[in-house]
Amino acid sequence: MKFFVTGVGGQLGHDVMNELLKRGHEGVGSDIQENYSGVADCSLVMKAPYVALDITNKDAVEKIITEINPDVVIHCAAWTAVDMAEEDDKVEKVRAINAGGTKNIADVCKKLDCKMTYISTDYVFDGQGTEAWKPDCLDYKPLNVYGQTKLEGELAVSQTLEKYFIVRIAWVFGLNGKNFIKTMLRLGKERGAVSVVNDQIGSPTYTYDLSKLLVAMIQTDKYGRYHATNEGLCSWYEFACEIFRQAGMDEVKVTPVDSSAFPVKAKRPSNSRLNKEKLTEKGFERLPAWQDALGRYLKELKGQEGL
């Protein structure tokens, strides 16, 4: 199969491209930068065909994707700076990328009759209560601009296409980019102590594990909305404690605090639990436990950065 992957300069796009190429598929990657700008890890994505693409440019999107003529588009590119998205002078740009850019891609997929996978987020919900959100729940109530624009992207896909997968994820970490784990390791070394919120509950998602599921999923016709994170629940505080434990940094003091201790521009959901039963029902393999994923990730990180 021939794939076109957006956002290969980011955590997930990088791993998706590598997984596709490892499985012998043909893949073309893209991002906003003129050349591939992700981690220089000598992985397959660095050698793969790459095209620079501004997804907000409708004509460019149509021209490039039509020329490539893929069987599948996996759309990982997005504006993900959640707090910056709240700034008045950024809202229009965030919407142009997350909603408009997604609609541009969906329109071309419809014209070419190719499949599309859209990566979304638990932020489309209001994060209230303690029950896990089901993938086909339509009770959307985003708390911030990022969540609202990602929801608009979802609707652009579902209202334009029939052959689509919308996959919501949360608490993402991977080798290619910034994430909570890297931040904790850095702060732990610099300060020897961190304070971490203990009133937001969810499940981390390792992009390496997720990429395997996405590639398996797209080769089927089991279209629809799905939730995909690593198995198990934790708070950010519990996540941080496990990071330091597995990294052999038990000397770091971790203090649990309420979200109110960290005022931010964009309100975060307190309940990021995602129900993943649909994966099982449709015959897809669930992702490993988040603790297992963390251990494997730390080994990869150590090899990459010499930690």
Looking at this protein, which amino acid is placed at residue 190? Answer: E
CA distance 115 to 109: 7
Count Cβ neighbours within 10 Å for each residue of 283-297 and write b for 16 or more, e otherwise.
ebeebeebbebbeeb
Q: Can you list the alpha helix ranges (DSSP code H) found in 41-160?
A: 58-68, 91-95, 102-112, 145-160
Backbone conformation region of residue 177, classed left if phi is above 0, alpha if psi is from -120 to 50, else beta: left
CA-to-CA distance for 184 and 252, rounded, in angstroms? 10
Residue pair 169/115 in contact (Cβ under 8 Å)? The answer is no
Q: What's the rounded Cα separation, in Å, for the pair 120 and 125?
A: 11
Out of 118, 146, 208, 223, which one is annotated catalytic? 146
Which tokens is 41 given? Answer: 């890890």
3-state secondary structure of 230: strand
- The whole-angstrom separation of Cα 282 and Cα 292 is 24
Q: In whole angstroms, what is the distance from residue 42 CA to residue 263 CA?
A: 39
Please provide the DSSP assignment of 60-90 as one string: HHHHHHHHH--SEEEE------TTGGGSTTT
| Contacting residues for 24 by C-beta, under 8 A, at least 6 apart | none
Query: Is position 146 annotated as part of the catalytic site?
Result: yes
Q: Which two tokens stand for residue 272?
A: 């990021």
Vertex 229 angle, CA 203 and 120, to 5°: 105
CB-based contacts of 305: which residues, under 8 Å, 6+ apart? none
Q: Which residues are catalytic?
A: 146
